[in-house]
Amino acid sequence: MGKPTGFMEFKRELPQDLPELQRIKHWDEFHQHLPEDKLKQQGARCMDCGVPFCHVGRLLAGMASGCPINNLIPEWNDLVYRGLWKEALERLLKTNNFPEFTGRVCPAPCEGSCVLGINEPPVTIKQIECEIIDRGWENGWVPVPTPSKRTGRKVAVVGSGPAGLSAAEQLNIAGHTVTVFERADRIGGLLMYGIPNMKLDKKIVTRRVELMEKAGVKFVPNTEIGGNLPAGKLLKDFDAVVLCTGATKPRDLPIEGRNLKGVHFAMDFLTANTKRVLNAGYNGDFISAEAKDVVVIGGGDTGTDCVGTSLRHGCKSMVQLEILSKPPLERAADNPWPQWPKVYKLDYGQEEAAAKFGADPRQYLVTARRFVGDAHGQVSGIEIVNVEWARDDKGRFIPKNVPGSERVVPAQLVLLAMGFLGPEDAITQQLKIERDERSNYKAEMGRFSTNVAKVFAAGDCRRGQSLVVWAINEGRAAARECDRWLMGSTDLP
């Protein structure tokens, strides 16, 4: 694939992002583009490796190895190298409904399992994917995914995040009449309100939604299933229901001082911020980090987004607390290729914090003991303590506090970014849907059907908090199984 000797001739090269201190002054995307000749060189680095692990899409040691939607990566790398951009887009869209999303927000497990990555920097798969779809939109090549005929069946999709949108598009292609219900005021779910604008411009989400509307998908915002629309009504009005509600119940931190003003869940902070970016003059439930000492508890993408957003507000200082140890600079012996490389890196938010305040904001092997408040009930600091991981009497690794390491970190704003605990309760209670041991909707992988007849589940609400690319995988697969159930057979991939 690509140029047979390209991986020896060309080095990995990415475009320069806007400088950190410049980009924190606005909410625009900050990634730049490579010229076409450079992109062709990057495509040429794709090896004729024999077995392209980049698109196998398997879980190894609990983490994605290769692309979960089985993108035909070597094929479109080769086409880019040859300058055949439209043909590359056609190959990309065979497996990925929304490459403009994954090309921006996916952590690229494909690159972690790239064969070239065994002993050299991997191929710039994510960058090339984004360039292909962006050129497709610019040149009017992105097709309107309309069906050849209608089946007369009606399907309700609950939730308009990546799982819901992919399920809706596939079911519409199969010819069913699809209605997507979203409780927020805008369509997009996590893509709209869970990811900040500088990471995924909302115009890109809206553009895709408008294309789906043109193809025949109906979107109904401001409608909460189980709230202002009873869940049981969907069973009466539709031939099938696909639940793609996400895992939106946040993990709390019930320690002393939790009820102090200024302690918020990360998603409340991020959602209100995006509403303000999109609505000039919006104040609503907006939470400002301006001129405040901010502490983010938890890592991952959500924690990073809280860091980047707080910096754009003009925070006074930034600390991010991690209970785990600092990752190694290179793969550990128990983390071999093609597993996802669990190594130390600076994501965009930490890069920006380091540029502004002089260092990575993360403190490792620490945990919060209590929130400290002032006389007005406002949080003023967090007492933290170092931890060390040791086995308990049952052989499990648990964190233990290090005596004498207690200290107080100043904080007028605390953001809890410690993950999510599954879907909320209303739909489960009204439809009597069974949950698994992790409180997610119980629906077997590969079948996606719940214990309730004609109700399917996909995405984070079924598998737990995960990646956008896994949500797309599950939305596509659930649509296929829903179509099979409705029609007796299916042609969906």
Q: pLDDT for 148-197, tens place per residue?
A: 999 999 999 999 999 999 999 999 999 999 999 999 999 999 999 999 99
Task: Give the pLDDT confidence score for residue 281 in this predicted structure.
Answer: 75
At the topology level of CATH, where does 154-248+421-487 sit? Answer: FAD/NAD(P)-binding domain (3.50.50)
pLDDT digits (tens, 9 = 90+) for 382-438: 999 999 999 988 889 999 999 999 999 999 999 999 999 999 999 999 999 999 999
Task: Give the pLDDT confidence score for residue 216 in this predicted structure.
Answer: 98
Helix or strand (DSSP H, E) at 385: strand 379-391
CA dist 66 and 78 (Å) reads 18
| pLDDT, mean over the chain | 96
Q: Give the mean pLDDT of 192-208.
A: 98
Domain 6-138 is found in CATH 1.10.1060.10: yes
Please state, as a whole number, how many other Cβ atoms lie within 10 Å of the Cβ of residue 138.
9
Check: CB of residue 134 under 8 Å from CB of residue 32.
Answer: no
pLDDT digits (tens, 9 = 90+) for 213-223: 999 999 999 99
- Long-range pairs, 370-377, Cβ under 8 A, ≥24: 370/255, 370/256, 370/257, 371/255, 371/256, 371/257, 371/258, 371/260, 371/263, 371/414, 372/257, 372/408, 373/257, 373/260, 376/261, 377/260, 377/261
Best CA proximity match to 455, nearest among 423, 421, 487, 432: 432
CATH class of 263-416: alpha beta
Angstrom distances, CA of residue 114 to CA of 7, 341, 398, 416: 12, 11, 34, 34
Task: Give the pLDDT confidence score for residue 318 in this predicted structure.
Answer: 98
Length of the chain: 493
CA dist 268 and 415 (Å) reads 9
Res. 125: pLDDT tops 90: yes
Q: Which residues are registered as beta bridge partners of 413?
A: 294
List the domain boundaries for the chain: 6-138, 154-248+421-487, 263-416
Please report which confidence band the pLDDT of residue 60 belongs to, taking 50, 70 and 90 as the band edges: confident
Task: Give the pLDDT confidence score for residue 62 in this predicted structure.
Answer: 81
Q: Which residues are registered as beta bridge partners of 265?
A: 416
Burial of 436 (0-12, 13-18, 19+ CB in 10 A): middle
Q: Where are the alpha helices (DSSP H) in 447-491?
A: 460-463, 468-487
Res. 282: pLDDT tops 90: no
Same fold, 6-138 and 263-416: no
pLDDT digits (tens, 9 = 90+) for 323-356: 999 999 999 999 999 999 999 999 999 999 999 9
In single-letter form, the type of residue at position 236 comes to K
**pLDDT > 70 fraction of the chain, expressed in percent and rounded:** 100
Q: 64 or 443: whose pLDDT is higher?
A: 443
- Long-range pairs, 270-275, Cβ under 8 A, ≥24: 270/193, 270/194, 270/195, 270/196, 270/302, 270/305, 270/306, 270/309, 271/193, 271/194, 273/196, 273/309, 274/192, 274/193, 274/196, 274/197, 274/202, 275/193
Q: Where are the alpha helices (DSSP H) in 298-435?
A: 300-313, 348-357, 426-431
pLDDT digits (tens, 9 = 90+) for 64-99: 899 999 999 999 999 999 999 999 999 999 999 999
**pLDDT > 90 fraction of the chain, expressed in percent and rounded:** 94
Q: Which residues are registered as beta bridge partners of 156?
A: 179, 241
Res. 1: pLDDT tops 80: no
